[in-house]
Amino acid sequence: MDSTPYSCVCGQLVLTITPSLQLLPVRQTVQKNEPKSYVIPRNHPACSFKLEAKKDRTPILIKRQSEASADTDDSAPASSTELWWLLRCPRCKLPVGYDLDEENMKFNYILDGSLTAFTVDRSKTINKAD
């Protein structure tokens, strides 16, 4: 199986992965405006990847609100918070993903739309001049 390279909008190669992002699971969103994230398992034999991104030293606090539960009389949505350690492009510093744990990471999350896949034509070879 071929690996798929992904670059940031600035052109920097950020991720090379097998299989492609579109074949990976998507993190469940609880809000309509929450970005879709692809879940990359860190220790799965069917997933091999190299991520070239800089992790922020300090996390940001994300407040997630879920819809009001149908079995409760409370019309206010329940909320929870989580810490995101942003993963940034090493060249332009745009966020391309995040981690939910500082040390014992089981997954990386890639923000949908932050990276662009590009194809490499392997049929063309470079011939050396004799």
Task: Give the domain ranges of the chain.
Answer: 4-66+78-117
**Beta bridge pairs of residue 98:** 86, 109
Q: Which fold has domain 4-66+78-117?
A: 2.170.150
pLDDT at 47: 95
Residue 10: is its pLDDT beyond 90? yes
- Is residue 97 within 8 Å of residue 114, measured between CB atoms? yes
pLDDT at 71: 45
Residue 42: is its pLDDT beyond 80? yes
Is 0.85 topped by the overall pTM?
no
Residue 59: is its pLDDT beyond 60? yes
Residue type at position 3: S
